[in-house]
Amino acid sequence: MAKPVTTFSCSACGATSTKWSGRCDACGAWNTVSEDVPLSTGPSGKTLGAARGSRIALTDLSSKEAPPPRTASGMPELDRVLGGGLVPASAVLVGGDPGIGKSTLLLQAAAAFANGGLKTFYISGEEASAQIRMRADRLGLAQSPVRLGADTALRNILTTLDEERPDLVVIDSIQTMWSDTVDSAPGSVSQVRAAAHELTTFAKRRGAAVILVGHVTKDGQIAGPRVVEHMVDTVLYFEGERGHQFRILRAVKNRFGPADEIGVFEMTGSGLSQVSNPSALFLSERGKPSPGSVVFAGIEGTRPVLVEIQALVAPSPHSQPRRSTVGWDGGRLAMILAVLESRCGIPFAGLDVYLNVAGGMKISEPAADLAVAAALLSAREDSALPADTVVFGEISLSGALRPVGQTENRLKEAEKLGFSSAIAPEGGKPGGAKGLKLTRMGDLTSFVGEIFGAG
pLDDT surpasses 90 at 241:
no
pLDDT surpasses 90 at 236:
yes
Provide the annotated binding site: 96-103
**pLDDT value, residue 302:** 83
- Choose between 407 and 286: higher pLDDT: 407
Segment 51-59 shows an average pLDDT of 75
Q: Kind and range of the H or E element at 197? A: helix 189-206
pLDDT surpasses 70 at 432:
no
Segment 136-147 shows an average pLDDT of 93
Per-residue model confidence as pLDDT tens digits over 176-228: 999 998 888 888 888 999 999 999 999 999 999 999 999 887 776 776 778 88
- Choose between 244 and 275: higher pLDDT: 275
pTM of the shown model:
0.79
Residue 186 sits at φ, ψ, to 5 deg, of: -60, 140
At 292, is the pLDDT very low, low, confident or very high (cuts 50, 70, 90)?
very high
Angle 94-119-73 from CA coordinates, rounded to 5°: 55
Q: Measured between alpha carbons, how far is 365 from 7 in angstroms, rounded to an integer?
A: 60
Segment 239-258 shows an average pLDDT of 85
Segment 363-385 shows an average pLDDT of 93
Pair 196, 232: CB distance under 8 Å = yes
pLDDT surpasses 70 at 44:
no
* Long-range contact pairs involving 380-385 (C-beta distance under 8 Å, separation at least 24): 380/313, 380/346, 380/348, 380/351, 381/291, 381/452, 381/454, 382/291, 383/291, 383/452, 384/289, 384/290, 384/291, 384/293, 385/289, 385/293, 385/294, 385/451
Segment 366-386 shows an average pLDDT of 93
**pLDDT value, residue 48:** 66
Q: Measured between alpha carbons, how far is 31 from 10 in angstroms, rounded to an integer?
A: 9
Asked: is 280-452 a CATH 3.40.50.300 domain? The reply is no
At 399, is the pLDDT very low, low, confident or very high (cuts 50, 70, 90)?
very high
Segment 222-247 shows an average pLDDT of 84
Verify cis geometry, omega within 30 degrees of 0, for the bond prior to 173.
yes
Q: What is the mean pLDDT of the chain?
A: 88
Segment 407-428 shows an average pLDDT of 89
At 455, is the pLDDT very low, low, confident or very high (cuts 50, 70, 90)?
very low
Provide the annotated binding site for ATP: 96-103
**pLDDT value, residue 197:** 93
At 333, is the pLDDT very low, low, confident or very high (cuts 50, 70, 90)?
very high
Domain ranges for the chain, please list them: 1-36, 76-276, 280-452
- Specify the CATH architecture of the domain 76-276: 3-Layer(aba) Sandwich (3.40)
**pLDDT value, residue 39:** 67
